[in-house]
Structure 1
Amino acid sequence: MLFRRGRTMLVLVAVFWLWLLLGSANFIAGLFDTPFYAMLALYGLGVVTLISLGVAGMAIFYMVVNKPARTELPAGSSARPGFSELAPVIRLVPRRVADHSAALTNKAAAKWRDLAS
């Protein structure tokens, strides 16, 4: 999950830089009617540009640290990597809780069999 967040932030920073390089000139040129707004826009873009460098660095760091593990599949296997028959939530249930719930299910089934007979 953190890898995907890092990748998303890196894509957003790249989109910002593309806009900065290709489209921000028209934006700033439109503000030159009032010098205050033009100065404010230039200052804001300068600050956001510097912040975007830090954000890009952190996004790359998150992607490197949280790199997803690759699992090797046996030959002829059609399953997707990381796919399991059990949902992740079921796998996280402690064994004693799972055993206890199975015991309750067996008790309930036995009770219904007794009532039905």
Structure 2
Amino acid sequence: MPSARGRSAMLYRRARSGLFLIALFWGWMLLGAADFIAALFGSPVYAALAVLALGALTLVSLLFLPICLAYLVLNRPRVPGQAGGTASRSRDAHRARLAPVVRMAPPRGTARGTARGAAPAAPAAPAAPAKRRDLAS
């Protein structure tokens, strides 16, 4: 079970994806659905099924639009610098819940061979962007 913060980020991403799909559907409805239905008029059964399906999808999209907006607003991700020192405490708490083997690895921010609170002998080079951990997921 993900933590409350991880669950919140997951719900935010799902709502954002849902809004994207709804916008994509409505864009297609406004720009290309008429050609799609006109192409099906060779068979009245296919045309009727297409009209029914598009009507049902329109109602479903209208139902999910306010739900996605509510999830998007209620599960906004936090700004990293907003909470002050809680980010480091949260990171330490997360590290404490890891398996013992993973906890043994030194954090990426400290140089090897130095204590956690002590300053390193030489300033460490900044990590390459590809090696940074994605904290959003």
TM category (shorter chain) comes to 0.5 to 0.7
How far residue 70 of structure 1 moved from its aligned partner, in angstroms, is 1.7
In structure 2, relative to structure 1, the CA distance for the partners of 1:35 and 1:72 (3 Å cut) is same
Instruction: Please give the alpha-carbon distance, in whole angstroms, between the structure 1 residues aligned to 2:47 and 2:93.
Output: 53
One-letter code aligned to 2:97: L
How far residue 90 of structure 1 moved from its aligned partner, in angstroms, is 1.8
Secondary structure at 2:42's aligned position in 1?
Answer: coil
- Give 1:66's aligned residue: 75
2:33 paired with 1:31: no
2:95 paired with 1:90: yes
Instruction: Please give the alpha-carbon distance, in whole angstroms, between the structure 2 residues aligned to 1:61 and 1:68.
Output: 14
Q: Going by fraction, where is helix more abundant, 1 or 2?
A: 1
How far residue 42 of structure 1 moved from its aligned partner, in angstroms, is 0.5
How far residue 71 of structure 1 moved from its aligned partner, in angstroms, is 3.3
In structure 2, relative to structure 1, the CA distance for the partners of 1:32 and 1:22 (3 Å cut) is same
One-letter code aligned to 1:29: A
How far residue 59 of structure 1 moved from its aligned partner, in angstroms, is 0.8
Once the two structures are superposed, residues 36-69 of structure 1 have per-residue CA deviations (whole angstroms, 9 ceiling, x without a partner) of: 1111110110011010011111111110110112
Structure with greater Cα Rg: 1
Instruction: Please give the alpha-carbon distance, in whole angstroms, between the structure 1 residues aligned to 2:93 and 2:25.
Output: 36
2:25 paired with 1:16: yes
Q: Which runs of 5+ in 2 are unaligned?
A: 1-9, 105-137
2:13 paired with 1:4: yes
> Structure 1 vs Structure 2: percent identity of aligned residues?
40
How many correspondences in the alignment?
89
Instruction: Please give the alpha-carbon distance, in whole angstroms, between the structure 2 residues aligned to 1:88 and 1:24.
Output: 52
